[in-house]
Amino acid sequence: MRIFWISALITFFLDRITKALILKSNFTVLKIVSFLNLVKVWNTGIVFGLFSGHREIGKYIWIGVVGFFLGAIFSWARTLKNDRTLKFAIGILFG
């Protein structure tokens, strides 16, 4: 399970760091290579759109949904015995 937690933590922290860097940067479109652009947009997400009339209860419903799926992913990873590559990949999904 160590490879699962390592990949999950690396993914989580890379996500947080890149989001913080993008929020502090001053660009709208950043051309990385000829076929890949990074575009800064604000996405209010499904929580605000799906339950717009019931914002508070919708937030708790989505916390429950995310918690359920994280628990399912963690349970799946625990059932794997010797497949380190799959544990690594599931850790990325979890992170």
Q: Check residue 45 and give its pLDDT.
A: 67
Q: Cα–Cα distance between 74 and 50 in angstroms, integer?
A: 27
The arithmetic mean of pLDDT across residues 33-60, rounded, is 76
Output the pTM of the full model: 0.74
Residue 73 and residue 94 in contact, taking contact as beta carbons nearer than 8 Å = yes
pLDDT in tens, 50-68: 666 666 777 788 889 889 9
The arithmetic mean of pLDDT across residues 43-55, rounded, is 66
